Structure 1
Amino acid sequence: MLDAARAEFERYGIRRTNMDDIARRAGISRSTLYRRFPNKDALVETLVLRDTAAFFAELDRVAADRDPRSAVVECFTRGVRLAQEMPLVARILESEPELILGLTNRTDGAPTVQAAAQVAVTLRRSGVTMSDEDLSAVAEILVRIAVSLMLNPHGQLDISDQEAVRQYAERYLVRLVW
């Protein structure tokens, strides 16, 4: 079911896909799909949570055995690239970026808070010595910058250029951690 949903969402977008399309691709009845997922939002949320877990697991792997400053550089660089490489995320960013903003607004910013908490854990593991309060603030800033760049990629920084992203992180973002 999830693979079928992912394929439909990646091909047609979330808004243009309905539960009938997903059930047909999965080779199951609508009622079977609705027993597992009461609506399309629940299905999207399950996929987003799965992708988010994989995303942060990759960032944890990248940060392993790095000092805080190089963890920021390499995780930021990899995170920007990963968001472009994940087909569902890329599709949403390309054709339905307002869904990301809508999700954040509808949930009182919970995705941003959760992502920042995960970034803070990764940075703490890499050896940051700053207070928990400062670390939480910095992690949230890093998440907000990354999301802003993903939602509006046209600007001074060419996010398709991995070396430019790395230099950006080295010049501006490492200053935030200690």
Structure 2
Amino acid sequence: MPATTSHSWLRDERTEAAAERILDAAARLFVDHGVTATGMADIASAAGCSRATLYRYFENRKALHLAFVHREARRLGERVARSVTATDPRERITEAVLTAIREVRADPTLSVWFGLGDAALASELASTSEMIEVLGATFLAGPGGGVDAETTGRARWLVRGIVSLLTVPGVDEDDERAMIEQFLVPVVGPARL
């Protein structure tokens, strides 16, 4: 592996900062105009860069959407992990799902993805995102932390359950808790539950 020079390190830092600036500008536009209604030219203008510069960081709109979703999923995953304290596996899964749903609904940057016209895109990205699956699988992994094919499959169902409740909410949180406990936890929980 080649040694990293201070010059290349600065370039990497600048690249990351520029990508973050673009994603931050996109977030503001998504909230103001909706995800699907926001074009790459709009994002470039809001970020203060040319379209050519934008396309150097994100080859197309789908790549930008995926990068945005990955960034926000990592942040959401960290917040959920910090706030869920239940030790019982069933209750831990239930609390994690409810916390994730609450967090998404409370954040306009995230909730906009589940509004009319944008929910289909959110569903597609959530169901095809390996990073979101990894976050779910890591959370579902047992005490040893191993993530196998079965855990990954359960993580897919966990993500689908969350997306479903975000796009078609229950009557209230108690109703959603009951659905999670009855229909989601038995499917995504460890086999021994």
- Determine if the TM-score, normalized by the shorter chain, exceeds 0.5: yes
Letter in 2 for 1:5: A
With normalisation by structure 2, the TM-score equals 0.69
Q: Does the C-alpha gap of structure 1 residues 144 and 7 become closer, same or farther in structure 2, counting only changes over 3 Å?
A: same
What amino acid does structure 2 have at the position aligned with 1:80? I
The match for 1:166 is 177
| Contact 2:97/2:162 (8 A) holds in 1 | yes
Shift in Å, 1:63? 3.5
Alignment partner, residue 147 of structure 1: 163
What TM-score do the two structures reach when normalised by structure 1?
0.74
Task: Give the Cα separation in 1 of the matches to 2:38 and 2:92.
Answer: 38
Partner residue in 2 for 1:94 = 115
Cα separation, partners in 2 of 1:63 and 1:25, compared to 1, 3 Å: same
* Corresponding position of 2:33: 12
Question: Deviations for 1:114-140, whole angstroms, at most 9, x for unmatched residues?
Answer: 534422321335x59xx9565444433
Aligned to 2:12: none
Q: Residue deviations 1:68-90, cap 9 Å, x none? A: 12211210111221221232331
Q: What SS does the aligned partner of 1:48 have?
A: helix
Of structures 1 and 2, the one scoring higher in RCO (CA 8 A, sep 6+) is 1
1:174–1:48 distance in 2 versus 1, CA, 3 Å: closer
Of 71, 75, 84, the match for 1:50: 71
Distance 1:59 1:121 in 2: 12
Runs of 5+ consecutive residues of structure 1 not aligned to the other structure: none
User: Are 1:110 and 2:90 matched, yes or no?
Assistant: no
Please, which runs of 5 or more residues in structure 2 have no aligned partner?
1-21
Inter-CA distance 44–64: structure 2 relative to 1 (3 Å threshold): same
Calculate the aligned-residue CA RMSD, in Å: 2.9
1:124 to 141, 153, 156: 141
Instruction: Mark the structure with the bigger radius of gyration.
Output: 2
Task: For 1:61 and 1:28, locate their aligned partners in 2 and report how far apart those are by CA, in whole Å.
Answer: 36
Identity %: 30
